[in-house]
Structure 1
Amino acid sequence: MHDTADSTIDAWLTGRIPTDWTATAPPSIVIDREEITITISVTEPSLADGASDADRAESVAGRITGFREDTRDQRMAIARDAEHRFGRKVAWAVEVGGRTELFTHIAVPVMTRLRQPERLVLDTLVAANVARSRADALAWCVRLVGQNTDEWLTELRTAMTAVDDVRAKGPDAT
């Protein structure tokens, strides 16, 4: 794995992604140790004023499918370049009218040690058919925490970025 700053990855991708894909908004780029997820915002299709919610949902689904199919070769080429350059997998998503659809992405196994009270929580979720397995139950819990603490996690990530910036300016910076 390459040790590349997130800002460098972000800058490279921003320059590499075709400008016609980002006419409405810049891409959203989320980076972790294993994966880079790029979300492209696409304009919502315009329908007649009296269009039903079902028709609007279908038009959004069509726009998402169209973007996915029409850009497949270019997205694959960009992903291949980025994966080679940064040593991380690339996933793509598109956002249309408030709906985000993630295309191909990876699921990374994470080892954790849980004491009995935590395991009982997971087992309860499995027994209640909320999750198929302990792994699914744990992923469900992480998603729930992420949704309910989004503001706090954003503040924490911002603070961590500031610490990284200060550390990079330190006496041992190369």
Structure 2
Amino acid sequence: MVSGLINANPVVYERKERRVRSSPSDADEYAVEPIDSLEVFDHVRDIKDPEHPYSLEELKVITEDAVEVNDEQSHVRVTFTPTVEHCSMATVIGLCIRVKLLRSLPSRYKVDIRVAPGTHATEAAVNKQLNDKERVAAALENPNLLEMVDECLAPTYA
């Protein structure tokens, strides 16, 4: 039976245990703590893959090591690795990561989303689409695409 999926049987990895983050003391209640790569990773690790019932973390599409944060310059870069070189959902996955971070991080952050070098057949084209504000805005005006993104970002209670 052919399922129509590009990667019908992906390798699924064990999820990392979440680390407890310290909260500010009462004296620092209104202090702004810097954002680090772990916090960004926590935002994107649970995004669901558009084709499979697994998270991007479980498919090793996103890893903690692939998140870079420069809080001083308000810059975040997330590099993701599609499960196959010709993944037709790479742009959707990157769009989900971008939307999640736009909804989660303070607006001062510039977010770059990249396909890991050498992991996708059309890496340059995907990177260009994901980091072009006009293309991202146009994509999010498409109700079907926005619905797909929202489904991938919906919380799970597993």
Query: TM-score, with normalisation over the residues of structure 1?
Result: 0.37
Structure 1 or 2: more helix by fraction? 1
Query: TM-score, with normalisation over the residues of structure 2?
Result: 0.40
* Greater Rg by CA: 1
